[in-house]
Chains A and B, each alone.
Chain A
Amino acid sequence: MASSETAATPSGPARGPDSPAASGGAAPAAVLAPARGGGTAAAIRAEWTKVRTLRSTLALLVGTFLASIGLALLSGVSVGNALAADNGRVRPDFHPVDSGFNIVWYTQLGLVAFGVLLISGEFGSGMIRVSLAAVPRRARLYLAKAGVCAAVTLPLAALTVVLSFLIDQAGLGEYGVGVDEPGVLRGMLLGAVYLTLIALLAFGMATAVRSTAVALGALYVFLFALSPLSQAVPGLKEAARYLPDKAGIQALKVGADADPALGPWGGILVVAGWTALALLAGWFAFRRREV
């Protein structure tokens, strides 16, 4: 049945005569009735519906997948040919496993955009007001969005990482390796996790700044321009190891770029730390923001 209070008689709301008059925001959350219609599961389902019914988001995800696969094929074949010709255009410390995971750095471009658009599209259109009127508990809405971001990204990232690795190795031909090569299965796992963490990082940061353009600009600089720039500054080189992209490289690479001090698991932990920071920043901005 309808939650007892909804069954208002035509004459009026007929609420209890007691008037607790909870002042301001802090009401005892535990007292609130368990959601009948709403609830967290319903909010997650609604967020999933939003993702699958927006053509631009779908196009972005499909495009990211196809572009990654295409790049893997192109890179595998061209590097394979260069190796066969021995024309010196392949770096001497070439490692086939690293080559297979290079695609991740292109895949993340699309997934960063996905994480950003998941929230900035709502701020830009004003739909966030409709969302918050439907799901007024902000933590619930934020978690539902983050959950859907992860739930969409993780399988897509896993599929993309595995397929692009295999296709790249196939392109490399005789220089390619199989999945039994050390570090490959771990790299596939951590690659999918890395991409998911980066999408969540983008989502958190976009929630903090709200605007699509600002979020994308800041993220692309932060993720892709900062570490090359920092290489030029002597003092920063050491600190740059802990930037998300550099740490992410450690999670996947086994060749010359590998940094034994951090290691693959250390690398992914550092990325997770950045993601946690971004999600927290997003939450603190979102928690009380006027919309």
Chain B
Amino acid sequence: MCAGRARGHARYVIEVQHLTKSYGPARAVDDLSFVVRPGKVTGFLGPNGAGKSTTLRLLLGLGEPDAGRALLFGKPYRELSDPLLRVGGLLEAGSTQRTRSAYHHLLWLAHTHRIPRSRVREVLEMVGLSDVARRASGGFSLGMSQRLGIAAALLGDPDVLLLDEPVNGLDPEGVHWLRNLLKERAAAGHTVLLSSHLMNEMAVTADHLVVIGRGRLLSDSSLADFTAEHCRSVVRVRGHEPERLGALLRESGAAAEIEPDGTLRVTGMESREVAKLARAHDIGFDELAGESTSLEEAFLEMTARDTQFTAGSGVGSRGGAGHGVL
């Protein structure tokens, strides 16, 4: 985990160090540390309420951490001169005053950094809002508001994009467009951090995953490593003596449990080995199939286990011994 600490640069574009933030008794972010590097799309993943938005708000200097630091280019956001030229943030769609037009919303924002009007028209064109630029933003759909927010983030052509759930409300064409845009920017050497609660979306967009649950870091790895580490093969056996086979499998180091329909679910052993073991002990089976858990399942399992631990209900039975990721 946290593969990034090793060697090399002393500075990262985005650096979160032991970040902690509570709201009343609830700990939104709990000793969270990770770094984000340029040249990739980093997915910031976690279930609702995991602390993603809080982390991004702290990165943008909109709140004070209780402990730890959230740094961009080695500094707190508030100390950046010309922040819009360096960091483009999108926190929440619809953070506009309803009767102001999209064009004027971007215009006042441009004026804070002496960005020319031509750039305002350019980003409106980029996000596909040119035709409605003169309309009051209050009448926009969620998808259009999201596009306006993305236009605002791109306005200063920043090195860093920090986007909170940017695909929310976008239509499929918009999702596709945004995905390509983010990948292009990353390929050009920019830094992209986007949050999501949808693993499937991240699986096709991100190169690197930072997974959090209940404000704590659960995983920080490349998408490839995440897949290799967490997407275990699962073998399902529909047989005659599931208890006996299960016991034998556990003796050989695999994890096995009987599902409600009587199927034996085996992890930690390839399907061929499972079949061999069954035959060796003369246990018949009607069906034996191997499959791989999806990223989505791996993510759900990871966050569910985290919830279980914090709820104090002991060790989850699913992963079995030897497979604890944490």
With known contacts A13-B38, A54-B99, A49–B63 Cβ distance under 8 A: no
- A11 to B, closest residue via Cβ: B189
Contacting pair A291 B75 (CB below 8 A):
no
Measured CA separation A130–B91 after assembly (Å): 8
Q: How far is the CB of A82 from chain B (nearest CB, A)?
A: 42
Most interface-central of A3, A43, A53, A122 (chain B CB within 10 A): A53
Contacting pair B62 A129 (CB below 8 A):
yes
Q: Does B318 contact A (CB under 8 A)?
A: no
Contacting pair A134 B112 (CB below 8 A):
yes
Measured CA separation A49–B76 after assembly (Å): 28
Contacting pair A127 B95 (CB below 8 A):
yes
Which A residues between 17 and 44 are near B, CB-CB below 8 angstroms?
A: 17, 19, 22-25, 27, 32-38, 42-43
Q: How far is the CB of B118 from chain A (nearest CB, A)?
A: 15
Contacting pair A19 B11 (CB below 8 A):
yes
Contacting pair A133 B60 (CB below 8 A):
yes
Most interface-central of B57, B79, B82, B104 (chain A CB within 10 A): B82
- B93 to A, closest residue via Cβ: A126
Which B residues between 30 and 80 are near A, CB-CB below 8 angstroms?
A: 37-39, 57, 60-64, 69, 73-80
Contacting pair A42 B111 (CB below 8 A):
yes
* One of A12, A13, A37 near B84 (C-beta < 8 A): A37
Q: Does A288 contact B (CB under 8 A)?
A: yes
With known contacts A12-B37, A13-B73, A19-B10, A129–B112 Cβ distance under 8 A: no
With known contacts A38-B112, A49-B108, A6–B84 Cβ distance under 8 A: no
Give 1 or 0 for each of A76-116: 1 = CB within 8 Å of chain B CB.
Answer: 00000000000000000000000000000000000000000
Measured CA separation A33–B82 after assembly (Å): 10
Measured CA separation A15–B74 after assembly (Å): 8
Q: Does B107 contact A (CB under 8 A)?
A: yes
* One of A11, A19, A34, A43 near B74 (C-beta < 8 A): A19
Measured CA separation A239–B250 after assembly (Å): 86
Q: Does B12 contact A (CB under 8 A)?
A: yes
Contacting pair A10 B39 (CB below 8 A):
yes
Contacting pair B39 A37 (CB below 8 A):
no
User: What are the residues of chain B within 8 A of A43 when measuring CB–CB?
Assistant: 112
Contacting pair B112 A291 (CB below 8 A):
no
Q: Does B100 contact A (CB under 8 A)?
A: yes
Q: Does A180 contact B (CB under 8 A)?
A: no
Q: How far is the CB of A53 from chain B (nearest CB, A)?
A: 4
Q: Does A237 contact B (CB under 8 A)?
A: no
Contacting pair A291 B62 (CB below 8 A):
yes
Q: Does B220 contact A (CB under 8 A)?
A: no
User: What are the residues of chain B within 8 A of A10 when measuring CB–CB?
Assistant: 38-39, 188-189
Give 1 or 0 for each of B83-114: 1 = CB within 8 Å of chain A CB.
Answer: 11111010110111111110010011101111
Number of interface residues of A (CB under 8 A): 52
Contacting pair A12 B38 (CB below 8 A):
yes
* One of B10, B11, B61 near A132 (C-beta < 8 A): B61
Contacting pair B89 A37 (CB below 8 A):
no
Contacting pair A125 B83 (CB below 8 A):
no
Contacting pair A134 B83 (CB below 8 A):
yes
Measured CA separation A56–B114 after assembly (Å): 26
With known contacts A12-B13, A12-B38, A133-B89, A125–B98 Cβ distance under 8 A: yes
Measured CA separation A57–B71 after assembly (Å): 37
Contacting pair A25 B64 (CB below 8 A):
yes
Measured CA separation A19–B69 after assembly (Å): 14
User: What are the residues of chain B within 8 A of A11 when measuring CB–CB?
Assistant: 38-39, 189
Q: How far is the CB of A204 from chain B (nearest CB, A)?
A: 20
User: What are the residues of chain A within 8 A of B189 when measuring CB–CB?
Assistant: 8-12
User: What are the residues of chain B within 8 A of A53 when measuring CB–CB?
Assistant: 100-101, 104, 107-108
Contacting pair A38 B76 (CB below 8 A):
no
- A2 to B, closest residue via Cβ: B85
Give 1 or 0 for each of A262-291: 1 = CB within 8 Å of chain B CB.
Answer: 000000000000000000000000001011
Measured CA separation A142–B97 after assembly (Å): 18
Q: Does A226 contact B (CB under 8 A)?
A: no
Q: Does A135 contact B (CB under 8 A)?
A: yes
Q: Does B302 contact A (CB under 8 A)?
A: no
Q: Does B115 contact A (CB under 8 A)?
A: yes
Q: Does B9 contact A (CB under 8 A)?
A: yes
Q: How far is the CB of A124 from chain B (nearest CB, A)?
A: 8
A residues in contact (CB < 8 Å) with B: 2-3, 5-6, 8-13, 15, 17, 19, 22-25, 27, 32-38, 42-43, 45-47, 49-50, 53-56, 121-122, 125-127, 129-130, 132-137, 288, 290-291
20 extra A-B contacts, CB within 8 A, seeds A25-B76, A38-B112: A9-B189, A13-B11, A13-B13, A15-B11, A24-B69, A34-B81, A37-B82, A37-B112, A37-B113, A38-B113, A50-B97, A53-B100, A55-B100, A130-B152, A132-B62, A133-B60, A133-B87, A134-B83, A136-B78, A291-B62
Q: List 28 A-B contacts (CB under 8 A).
A: A3-B82, A8-B189, A11-B39, A11-B189, A13-B74, A15-B73, A25-B78, A27-B75, A32-B79, A38-B83, A46-B112, A49-B108, A53-B100, A53-B101, A53-B107, A53-B108, A54-B99, A55-B99, A125-B95, A125-B98, A127-B96, A129-B60, A129-B91, A133-B61, A133-B62, A133-B83, A133-B87, A290-B63
